[in-house]
Every structure is written in structure tokens, then in C-alpha cells.
Chain A
Amino acid sequence: MDVLLNVAQGFGVALQPINLLYCFIGVFIGTLVGVLPGIGPISAMSLLLPVTLSGTPESGIIMMAGIYYGSMYGGSTTSILVNIPGEAASVVTCIDGHQMAKQGRAGPALGISALGSFIAGTFSLVALMLIAPSLANVAIAFGPAEYFSLMVLGLVVLTFLTQGSMAKALLMACIGIVLGLIGLDSITAQPRLTFGRMELIDGIGLVPVVMGLFGIAEVLFNTEQVIKRDIINAKITQLLPSKADWKASAGPVARGTILGFFLGILPGGGAVVASFASYALEKRLSRTPERFGNGAIEGVAGPESANNAAAGGAFIPLMTLGIPPNVVMALLLGAFVIHGLQPGPLLITQNPGLFWGIVASMYIGNVMLLVLNLPLIGMWVQLLKLPYNILFPLIILFTIIGVYCSSNNVFDVYVMIAFGVIGYFMRKLGYEPAPLVLAFVLGPMLENNLRKSLILSQGDLFTFVQRPISAACLALAVVLLVGPLLPSLRKKRELVALDEGA
């Protein structure tokens, strides 16, 4: 009953005209960046972070959340029609989605992708409503040791799932922690690594770092290649899947939804991991695995449902523990902090309107996305024809403006350009930026909780293993760190490793 009352309160907030407008802007921009390759939800959210300042916290966060789950819908369109993933979570959709389009079945592929996403998105919202308040009640009992261990686990999971060498990913995570510690020490107020520059006293901003590493670096990386687009030009008809399509897709949608939701909750996990895991699961369960890669609708339905369910699940650790499980959620945390709010166990009780308003807006956003992605598909196809040589300069200009507006400081533009160049060379040398960014956000929290735990326990390191949740997190982190040393586990990691970027 309480849940229903809370949801009613949430709809009261979400249905306010201004919040409806922000929700629409969010899902529209989300679909747009999802459709456009080369710019993902991270770049778009960092670009629009300053805009959230002009409205209420509810409006700003509703819009930011809309961009995230909206991009999950939009990404599939590009994967299916152009064979280029619009964003990282849609990589796997290219495999069977584009094959279906080539066989003249672009309509059912787009249809099942949007409808599967809707079902998964709705399920993850119901689960978020039911799980988040209970988890928040449990999380109130968490001490600094638990928070520290959870953050360590989150970073280790992300480095484990990052493509390529784990040593490189761990090195990136360490560099992220160091960058996050630049500025005044939160306990002693001593300046650290500021090199005497006043601009660094408050630390480096998240927006210039993310925009540089993901926005500018992505453009630099793309300019060195001639991007060819194989757009399906045939008219897209019959978007609704047939009975046979539904029969084949029902299982993958259900499995993808549940798998995606739980992978989304895991620290370090997220939509990209979920889509890959779902594809692998469907292929393994299929009686005809040879159809995968040749236009199997299950290969579209499962991953697309999984990435949307994961997008919903990822809100749980952020809202209940205050720990962002991935880079996108780290940006959302930034939006909360800008408005003077701290997500965590007390958010639901202290700001019920905000929490339930965001949840309710996601229901509304999912319906909006269904309308945007099915009847308006033709509009997105036209957008795909925008040439890159015009798109890239525009992206650069907008990132510069976005960074400047986030702080009204030219220094941040320099930081962004520097990180753009660093990010480009990192990508060329096989160093992934995702662990760096997550560690950058978690670094100050991680340090704070470590120091608090040591002060409270009077320097007793056993405090981290005496508390069961903390011990379990650390044990899992050790397994994941040691695992890749074993040849069999190394092979498995290489199979699931992925690029968390974009």
C-alpha cells in the first residue's frame, strides 16, 4: 500500500508540466545521441549537466535519467540500419539486427527492439520501486568499511570487464583515484597536487575530464578513419513483429530483462555487460545457435531488453547507497551534488518527492520512447544521413561550450582539451578510459571511507574482514583480481571483456 501511495506521489511530481517537458527533452536527446554514432549518453549528459542548474533538482535529474535510458532505445536503430553501434550497449545488436535489415526485416527488428526495451524498462522500474526502499533501509547500517569495500569491488569489477590488459585497466583506475584526490584534503584541508594553481584548489571538474576522454577523444579517434555507412535505404514497413517473431522473442526478452536488471545493479556492471551476457546466453540456450549472426530475432530481443533493464537496475546502487555503479551514474551523482543533494540511504526518506518523482518519470519516459522510436523511425533514419565532416566540428564546439558553461571557467576548457588528447593516445595504446572516470568519482569517497574506518578502528585492518558485507565484497574483488592469472579464467574474461566507453 505504501508503495502505491509513494508512486501516486511520484506521478504527482512527474506529471507537472515542467517535469513532463524535461522528461521529453531528456528522452528525445537520449534517442538522438543513441542514434548518432560518435556521441554517447556520457558526452550528452556532461554537455547538459550545466543546464540542470536552471531548473529544480527533480527536473534536472529527470532529464539526465531520460538521456540515459533514451540512448539505450536509440542505439539499436543505428545498429540495425547502419551496422554501426549508436552507443556501446548496442554493439551486439549489430550482429543480428543488421542481418535482419539486409533480409528486408528491418521493421520487425526495430519493433522487437523497441517493444523489448519497453517491457524490460517497465520491469526494471517495478523492481526498482520494490527493491530500492528495502535496500536503503539495510544500507543505513553500512559503515565506512562497507562503503570502502563496495567501492573497491565496483572498481575491480569494472577493470575485470574492461577490454584488453587488466594491468592497464588497474593502472587507469589508480590514475583516476589520484586525479580525484587533487585539491583540498577533505579532512585536513591541505592542498594536494595543486602545483600552486588556484583553479585546482577545488579539484578537477568531472565534466571537463569526461568530455575530454569521451567526447573530444572519440572525435579525434574517428577522424583518422574513413567512416563508411551502409544505410538500409528500403522503406521500413510493418514495425510490429509477427506472432512467430513474438513466440521466438518472448523467452529472450524475459531472460534478458531479469539478467540485465541484476547485472545493472552490480557495481562496475551496466548496460554493455548486460547486452553481451544476454547474447551469449541466448546463443547457448538456442536449439539452432548457427542462426545467430545470420539474422536471428532472439539476438536482437535479448540484448536490447537486457541493456534497458540494466539501465533501470543501475539506479539502485546510486539511489540507495550513493555509489555510482558506472560512469553514467557517476555523472548523475554529479547532477545530484550540483543541487546540494546526496544520494544514499536517506534520500528516499528525506526527499520522497524527488525519488518517487524520478521513478514515475521513467514510466512516462518509457511510453514517450515507444512513441518516439516506432512511429517516428523515419525521422531518425534521415538524421543518420548527416555527414560526419559537419557533425564532428559541431560536437567539438558544443563540448567546448558545455564545459565552459559548467563552471564559467576557461581553465576547464584547457583541462578538457588536454584530456581529449590524453584520451586519444590512451585509446591508441589500448588504455580504456572507463575505469579512470569511475575511479575519479569514487576516489575521494574511497579515501574518505578508508581513513574514517582506520580512525574508528584505531588502525585495525581486520575491521574490513570482520564485517560480513565488507568481507564478502573484498573476497569477491580478490577472486576477480587473481582470476585472470589462471589460463581458463583469462580466456573467459577475454570473451566477456568489452569497451565500456561511449
Chain B
Amino acid sequence: MNGQTKAQGKLNNSELWGGLIGLALGVFVIWSGLKLKLGSINDPGSGYVLFYTGLLMCVFAATIIVAAITEGGPTFGSRWEDTRWTKPLLVIACLTAFAFALDPLGFLLSAIPLMVLLLRVIDPVRWSLTIPLAVLTPLGVWWVLKRALLIQLPSGIFEIG
């Protein structure tokens, strides 16, 4: 924690939010367990393990929250201090766009732009290398999978690939 800004019981305490998310998940799991029916100790039902796991989650989350309030924790800002935080954000955006495009456009039409973006976003690779890499790698993989391993990748509405 050295050198990191600590927040005690404040809203920008990242530990507190981690604990709260855990607590919310725990409550949801308890509720799901109850909905699925607990059964009895002689004959545990489908929700039995979920219910008790949810209880444990709440206990552990509460421990994290208490520690965050009493001992404090690093702020969100300090977690990303001195990092190139826009880079993972851009990669996440590229992957999300790819996920939406994969089914309708198919593998080739979505993977080639994904590769172009990734090669230019992380630490820009020169265009003369980006284009052949972005085109040839997905094409090569598609060819090996389709011809050698007989695995059909999604071809999308244009049925390319």
C-alpha cells in the first residue's frame, strides 16, 4: 500500500466497493438458493449448497467491508496511478465490438478489423506490418481450422468463411 492514497470509509475506497459487490452477490445467491428450495438436512434440495455458500459470501464480504472502513483502502484513482489505463479500456472496447459483430458478420469479417485495431491500439505497429498480419493471421487460422481440422467458424449473414 506504500505510496498509494488511502481512503477510510469514503466512497472512493476501492476495497469498500469490492466488499459491497461481494455482499450484493452473496444476497443474490442466498435468494436464489431459497427460491430453488433448501430441502432438509436428510435430503438437501437444489438450493441447499447455494444458500449456505451465499451465507459464507456475505460473511467474507462483510469482513472486507469492515476492514475497508476501519483500516481504509486504496482509492480507485491510486489503483490506476502511473498506468496507461486507456489501453486496457480500448482493448475492452475492441473486444466488446468484436463480440457484437462475430455472429452477424462471421469470423473473418470481424477478426480482421479486430486485429487491425489491436495492432494499432496497444503500441502502434507500423501499417506495413499491421495490414499483412491482420489479414493473413485470421485467414491462415480459418484455413487450417476449416481444411485440416474440419471446424466451421461462424460465417455470418454474408456467409464469408
Residues on A facing B (Cβ under 8 Å): 51, 54, 165, 167-168, 170-171, 174-175, 177-178, 181, 185, 187-188, 190, 192-193, 216, 219-221, 223-226, 387-390, 392-394, 396-398, 400-401, 404-405, 408, 410, 413-414, 417, 420-421, 424, 428-431, 446-447, 450-451, 454-455, 458-459, 461
Contacts and interface: CB of A to CB of B under 8 A. Distances in A.
List the 4 closest pairs (A to B, CB-CB), nearest first: A393-B118, A389-B123, A459-B41, A459-B42
Classify the secondary structure of A's interface with B: helix
Given A165-B64, A171-B60, 11 more contacts: A168-B64, A177-B53, A190-B36, A192-B50, A193-B50, A219-B91, A404-B154, A405-B145, A405-B151, A417-B98, A458-B42
Contacts of A451: 44, 48-49
Interface string B112-131: 00110011001111000100
A306 B4 CA distance: 35
Given A171-B64, A178-B50, A413 B151 contact: no
A177 B96 CA distance: 27
Residue picked from B54, B95, B124, most chain A C-beta under 10 Å: B95
A221 B80 CA distance: 11
A388 B102 contact: no
Contact of A174 (B56, B124, B125): B56
A187 B151 CA distance: 34
A223 B84 contact: yes
A219 B121 CA distance: 13
Interface string B42-82: 11111111100110110011011001000000000001100
Nearest to A169: B60
Given A388-B123, A397-B115, A405-B145, A410 B88 contact: no
A390 B119 contact: yes
Interface in B84-114: 84-85, 87-88, 91-92, 95-96, 98-99, 102-103, 107, 111, 114
Contacts of B49: 177, 181, 446-447, 450-451
Contact of B91 (A188, A220, A225, A458): A220
A389 B84 CA distance: 14
Contacts of A220: 88, 91-92
B110 to A, nearest CB: 10
Contact of A428 (B56, B60, B79): B79
A190 B35 CA distance: 12
B153 interface: yes
A183 to B, nearest CB: 11
Contact of B84 (A185, A225, A458): A225
B29 interface: yes
Contacts of A226: 84
